[in-house]
Amino acid sequence: MKRLARITSKGQVTVPHEIRRALGLRAGDDLLFEKTSTGVRVRPVRVKSPFEKFQGIGTPGIGRGRKAVLRWVRSLRGR
């Protein structure tokens, strides 16, 4: 996918909509510019895992973490 963008006099670039959608970018997200031997690579900076929001989705009523799971298993066993 190739898209053209222009740099403003302030050094700003508007990332094209198709690129933002493909990378999952939203307003306020950070981009990392890396110089390589073949050119420059631009990639989003992920602080959190994109899958974090799905953690525990299949286990309603069970908290997060090892202790919560062990507590739930013990309650199933009647301990």
Is this model's pTM higher than 0.75 or not?
Answer: no
Higher pLDDT, 40 or 46: 40
Strands (E), the chain: 31-35, 40-44
**C-alpha R_g of the chain:** 21
How many degrees, rounded to 5, is the angle at CA 23 between CA 19 and CA 29?
A: 100
pLDDT, residue 56, reads 66
Query: Which pLDDT band, with edges at 50, 70 and 90, does 21 fall under?
Result: very high
Over residues 8-34, mean pLDDT:
92
Instruction: Give the model confidence (pLDDT) of 43-69 as tens digits.
Output: 999 877 777 777 766 767 777 788 888
Residue count of the chain, please give it. 79
Domains of the chain: 1-47 (2.10.260.10)
